């Protein structure tokens, strides 16, 4: 699991690569907590190369959403493949997180 954070179009883009293992879940949680503590207004999770999303990973995403929403920010998911998108739907995270097919769409302010 690799996590890369960059800034694009006024958003913090968190690129998730590979399989989300137990260690990766902890690393992702720490990265998202760090962004939330800085009160980053827009976080976009680039899942275009993420192979799977586990239950603990879903819990981390929900926790990040709640923290960021608490100060008026937003969290979006972009580029999720079929299995990752399916998991987001099964646990109803797609009701809370805006989901986009392409990273470019998620980076449009106010979309």
Please count the other Cβ atoms lying within 10 Å of the Cβ belonging to residue 5. 15
Q: Round to whole Å and give the CA distance between 53 and 39.
A: 25
d(CA 56, CA 20): 9
Angstrom distances, CA of residue 109 to CA of 9, 40, 52: 8, 14, 28
Class (C level, CATH) for 2-106:
alpha beta
pLDDT of 33 reads 97
* Measured torsion, CA atoms of residues 2, 97, 31, 73, in degrees rounded to the nearest 10: 150
Quote the pLDDT of residue 49: 96
User: Phi and psi for 53 in degrees, rounded to 5?
Assistant: -135, 115
The string of DSSP codes covering 30-90 is HHHHHHHHTT-SEEEEEEEEE----HHHHHHHHHHHHHHHHTT-EEEEES--HHHHHHHHH
Considering the entire predicted model, what is its pTM? Answer: 0.93
**What is the chain's pLDDT, residue by residue, as a tens digit (111 residues)?**
899 999 999 999 999 999 888 889 999 999 999 999 999 999 999 999 999 999 999 999 999 999 999 999 999 999 999 999 999 999 999 999 999 999 999 999 776
């Amino acid at each position: 699991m690799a996590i890369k954070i960059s800034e694009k179009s006024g958003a913090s883009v968190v690129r998730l690569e590979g399989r989300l293992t137990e260690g990766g879940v902890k690393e992702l949680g720490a990265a998202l907590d760090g962004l939330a503590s800085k009160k980053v207004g827009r976080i976009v999770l680039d899942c275009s190369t993420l192979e799977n999303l586990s239950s603990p990973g879903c819990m981390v995403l929900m926790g990040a959403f709640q923290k960021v929403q608490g100060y008026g920010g937003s969290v979006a998911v972009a580029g999720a493949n079929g299995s990752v998108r399916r998991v987001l739907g099964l646990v109803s995270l797609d009701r809370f997180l805006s989901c986009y097919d392409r990273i470019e769409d998620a980076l449009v302010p106010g979309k």
